[in-house]
Structure 1
Amino acid sequence: MLYAVRVRGIYATALVALALKKGYLLSDLSKTMLSRVEVPVSTRPPNITVKHGEESRDEIVIHAFPYEAGERFEADLLEEVGHAAVRRSLLGLRSVVDARAAEGCRAEGPGGVWIIVKGGECPQPGSMVRVTVVRSPPGSEVVEGRLGVELTGLTVRVMHPGSGVRISRHLTGEDAAKALRAVEASGIDLNRFSVHIRSGARLAGEGDISDEIRRLASEAERLWREGPGGEPAVLSRGEYLSLVYLPSTAKHVMDGLRASLYPTVNNHHSLKSWSSEAEGLLTDFAEEGVREGLWGGEAGDLIVRFISSRLVGRTAVVLHRRPDGETIRLGPFRVSSYRPSSGRGGEIVLERTFRSPGVYDGLGLERRPGDRGVTHVYLGDWLTIHEYYDKGGRLLGVYANINTPPEVGFEGLKYLDLLVDVVKRPGEEPETIDQGELERACRSGLLTDKLCEEAARQAERASGLLRSRYP
């Protein structure tokens, strides 16, 4: 089946290139995108919406119906970029499931997933209930559902029991009026069913919307009338939802896809992914020069060197992003130096003096006030080296963090932590730590296979490096 894709956000042009390469239809392109690329556009409502995340521009949100459309697009994206961290919903939004009720308004769903049942009275513990999943954030173990059957289509969602009509805030004017006429023409009883008109209705005919309302209402009524079965099960898979975190290496692949359709500088998506406007403005300016033929894509490398040099003498933070979505702000550090090299390379040195006692994680060594940390960040490399010294300048230990090649912005640096690390105390052999954490992330699919393989290679490399550099 051919699925139609709608794209939005900073990765839109690259995603258009990917969709065309993988054989998808394109739907509901923005005016900006239509002006940039000459591609065929479907008049169908989209099956898949892909955009950058609201909380992080390093992430791509995949929201799709049917469920398998999202699975397929995610697989195609990961095949292309290779390196990514992926968080998925435990149960798809609007999935209809049978679950076994327990104490505390909870129910055990398929696969042992616990669902918090919202709305109305709590079901009797031990009874089987039929619920619709209404909240299942990617990567979260918190799943919420409500009694009843809600089914999704391309233009509408229909719930039974329910009542009334809701319209997407994206539908206004004649589009909203068309949707209301379609609901009336469907002939369903709005005292028994609720109808939510989706934004995709804008691209559908009135008759198509009415037909989908009738079909979903009939199926929802049947599923509710037959009652739950004897064991937890999925009856309807609902909408697919996942968050795909793109580290710098994946963004470089997206740069190449974008460049196949539109003039693009190196590091485009890395620079655009920062929350401030400054990096984006520099990128836009550089790409104006590419379009005018004044310079090539290497102007993006110059931006990275420019920003890196401007960090020297200032304070900066390191955004230590974990695969599970947690971001730890390390620092602030004082940026003591920057040594550029060709392309995306270079070394940024960060320093800080510790004011409070504690323990150096991984090394198991006491930290005293006055100790000093020196961090070597290697742009284009997979290792970040932390050296720890006492106030007299004696080396206490070294910690090699395994991470994706760092990205630079005016706020500081960011990377995806790959969980496994290598530590070394003076006079001792290097020790690899947290391997189990990496293995669990790989088994669960949180990290892609290629990224897991790279993490293992880099941990082995770090052991050799620490052994030779810090005897």
Structure 2
Amino acid sequence: MYKVKIRGIFATALSKLALDRGFSIVQPTEVVARRLGLPPDNSPPDLIVKDHESKSGIVVMGDCGAVETFAKVLKEELDPFLVQAAGGVKEVFAARPLQEAGATYVVTPEGGRAVVPSRYVVYPSVRLFTLVKPPVGPAKGLALPEIIVAGRYVELDTIGGVKFSRGIGEEDVVRLRILAESRLGLQGLGVKFKSSAQYAQEEEILREAQALYEEMLRISSGPWREGEVVRRGECLFISIFDREVKAKLDEIRARVAPTIRGHHSLRAQGLGRCLDLLDYAVAEVYEKASEFLAMGPVEILHIKPWGDIVRMRGSSLGFRSGALVVKRNLRPGGTLDGIGARIEPGFYALTCIKPGLTYVVHTYYDAVGRVVGTYINVNTPPEIGRRIIYVDLLLDKAIKSDGEERVLDMDELEKYRGYFPKRFERVESLLPKGRLECTEEGLIS
């Protein structure tokens, strides 16, 4: 039985799902423990689940067997977007630093790229690196020319200093700092206390630190061949939840706590305690609340299947003919993707977002209001509110002002199609036919 620690806005639903599928919940919040009737258990987790920065998905990290099992559960129960990292978190490997456009990077043993921070000066010879952020999809990772070895309670590193995970309380920080300075005897090495350390006996921490210290001495002695993995890291994947997945999580949460329809979509809008009140009042307000939240300034979260976020800010003009119209002023100097026109002063975009449609339409205008071109992005049905949230399905169509049409990004779609839910196997069928424009009166064809 794997042990899982879950935090974030999906904690109740995912804890219930994990519990039903044979996982043990450890270090639960008081609220989750009460809802699920969980006994106290502060043992270290085999995997950790936390919110993705978009608040529309999760990041899962831990023991590879546990991570793979949890990923299988998500695929079977929720059918979300899911992508595995190319390499392990805190994986130690041997690599030769390379240069590109003035930046230093290394190729991981799994074939991904990881950037080396500019504060490090590294020579082009084989040396050890630690992968602190593995590459996910096309996104580059981050590697340090340091050695970091992680256990269940502590991490030792060649960086130095005493560090603490954010989940450790102030009193435990003081106690653990005294332990580090008086008994660990790290001889210039650094230590980071993981959140589980606050629940552990000091002798357990000391035994683990000693074992990690001996392992670090062995690792540092080398020699190691280029491309060799010296120490395996923890597995990691990112899973992005569209509106359909959030609706399934609403149903799971409703088994253990009052939950209105659209609960998790509204949580992604930043609603907190007031949403708890709506849950207990059983108030069906999702559509009306979404329309209310979409008044005034809004932010469009264009989420890539691997978790990268493109943020676009604008002003809502309200709903016109069933579509939310958002006006965005464009910064001069760049070029409009797929259309090729240079962005001049005064250019702006009108974006039409229609609930239920699997595409968003961006029409670009010059300073006097003439149409420059239209860009149609295929995506999951959008969530409406102060944040417009959707997942990019990597297929687009550009329409120039002279009527020329081009379908874009087919190569990218083919490369990353494996990250998609089964229900989006035929993305090509979602691309609208004909010419569309977003106007101040709404979407027209």
| TM-score bucket of the superposed structures, by smaller chain | 0.7 to 0.9
After superposition, where does 1:11-410 map in structure 2 within 5 Å? Answer: 11-53=10-52, 55-64=53-62, 66-84=63-81, 86=83, 89-101=85-97, 107-113=106-112, 122=121, 124-126=123-125, 128-136=126-134, 140-148=139-147, 150-159=148-157, 165-168=162-165, 170-173=168-171, 177=175, 189-191=185-187, 193-225=189-221, 227-275=222-270, 279-290=271-282, 299-300=283-284, 302-308=285-291, 311=294, 316=298, 318-323=300-305, 325-329=308-312, 331-337=314-320, 347-350=322-325, 362=338, 376-385=352-361, 400-409=376-385
What are the ranges of 5 or more consecutive residues in structure 2 without an aligned counterpart? 437-442
2:88–2:131 Cα contact (<8 Å) kept? yes
Matched-pair contact (CA < 8 Å) for 1:182–1:207: no
Deviation per CA, 1:114-172: give whole Å up to 9, x if none.
Answer: 5566799855533x323333454756414221244x3211111234x676654545154
The structural deviation recorded for 1:407 is 0.8
Corresponding residue for residue 440 of structure 2:
none
Between the aligned partners of 1:370 and 1:174, the Cα distance in structure 2 is 56
Rounded to whole Å, the distance in 1 between the matches of 2:141 and 2:57 is: 20
Q: Is the contact made by 1:152 and 1:239 (CA closer than 8 Å) also made in structure 2?
A: no
Q: Deviations over 1:6-26 (max 9, x none)?
A: 112211101101211332111
Distance change in 2, residues 1:380/1:285 (3 Å): farther
TM-score, structure 1 normalization: 0.74
CA contact (8 A) 2:372 2:401 kept: yes
Distance in 2 between residues matched to 1:453 and 1:124, nearest whole Å? 46
Return the match for 1:437 from 407, 412, 420: 412
Residue identity in the other structure for 2:286: I
User: Which of 421, 426, 448 matches 2:420?
Assistant: 448
**Shift of residue 315, structure 1, vs aligned partner:** 6.2
One-letter amino acid of the structure 1 residue matched with residue 317 of structure 2: R
Amino acid at match of 1:3: Y
Query: What is the alpha-carbon distance in structure 2 between the residues aligned to residue 420 and residue 240 of structure 1?
Result: 29
> Which letter does structure 2 place at the counterpart of 1:413?
I
Render the CA deviation track for 1:16-56: whole Å, top value 9, x for unaligned. Answer: 01211332111111112222221345341122221223x43
Contact 1:156 1:201 in 2 (8 A): yes
Aligned with 1:421 (options 396, 400, 404): 396
CA distance in 2: counterparts of 1:370 and 1:129, whole angstroms? 51
**Secondary structure of the structure 2 residue equivalent to 1:44:** coil
- 1:296 maps to none
Whole-Å Cα distance in 1 between the matches of residues 171 and 259 of structure 2? 37
CA distance 1:288–1:157, shift in 2 (3 Å): same
Amino acid at match of 2:154: V
The percentage of aligned residue pairs carrying the same residue is 29
Give the SS at the match of 2:9. Answer: coil
SS in 2 for 1:110: coil
Moved more, 449-458 or 209-218: 449-458
User: Structure 1: how far apart are the matches of 2:187 and 2:371?
Assistant: 74
The residue identity in structure 2 corresponding to 1:289 is: A
* Residues 1:168 and 1:352: Cα distance change in structure 2 (over 3 Å): closer
Moved more, 447-456 or 421-430: 421-430
SS at match of 2:145: strand
Question: Residue 72 of structure 1: CA displacement?
Answer: 3.6
The residue identity in structure 1 corresponding to 2:249 is M
Q: CA deviation at 1:420?
A: 0.8
Q: Could you say what secondary structure the match of 1:407 adopts?
A: coil
Deviates further, 368-377 or 203-212: 368-377
Which residue identity does 1:30 align to in structure 2?
T
Q: Which residue of 1 aligns with 2:430?
A: 458
For residues 182 and 288 of structure 1, do their structure 2 counterparts lie closer, same or farther at Cα, with a shift above 3 Å needed?
A: same
State the secondary structure of the residue aligned to 1:9: coil
Tell me the distance in 2 between the aligned counterparts of 1:262 and 1:451.
29
Aligned mates of 2:81, 2:299 — CA distance in 1: 23
Query: 8 Å contact 2:80–2:239 — kept in the other structure?
Result: no
Alignment check: 8 A CA contact 1:353 1:371 kept? no
- Indicate the residue corresponding to 2:439 in structure 1: none
Q: CA deviation at 1:180?
A: 5.2
TM score, norm. by length of structure 2: 0.78
Q: 1:99 to 1:337 in 2, by over 3 A?
A: same
Quickly say closer, same or farther: Cα 1:182–1:470, change in 2 above 3 A.
closer
Checking the alignment, whether the CA contact within 8 Å between 1:37 and 1:261 is kept in structure 2 is yes
Matched residue, 1:344: none
Mapped partners of 1:106, 1:376: distance in 2: 40
Name the aligned partner's letter for residue 441 of structure 1: Y
CA contact (8 A) 1:316 1:334 kept: no
Cα separation, partners in 2 of 1:178 and 1:105, compared to 1, 3 Å: closer
Give secondary structure in 2 for the equivalent of 1:264: coil
Query: In the alignment, residue 287 of structure 2 is paired with which amino acid?
Result: V
Structure 2 distance, partners of 1:427, 1:119, is: 46
Q: Determine which structure has the larger helix proportion and give its number.
A: 1
Q: In structure 2, do the counterparts of structure 1 residues 456 and 17 end up closer, same or farther at CA, with 3 Å as the change threshold?
A: farther
Are 2:162 and 2:180, in contact at CA under 8 Å, matched by a contact in 1? no
Question: What CA deviation, in whole Å up to 9, does each residue of 1:385-428 have, x standing for no partner?
Answer: 5678999999998754311111121x253222212134668998
Q: For 1:124 and 1:375, locate their aligned partners in 2 and report how far apart those are by CA, in whole Å.
A: 48
Instruction: Give the AA of the match of 2:261.
Output: N
Relative to structure 1, the CA distance from residue 158 to residue 320 in structure 2 (aligned partners, 3 Å threshold; closer, same or farther) is closer
Give the Cα–Cα distance (whole angstroms) in 2 for the partners of residues 141 and 60 of structure 1. 19
Q: How many residues align?
A: 432
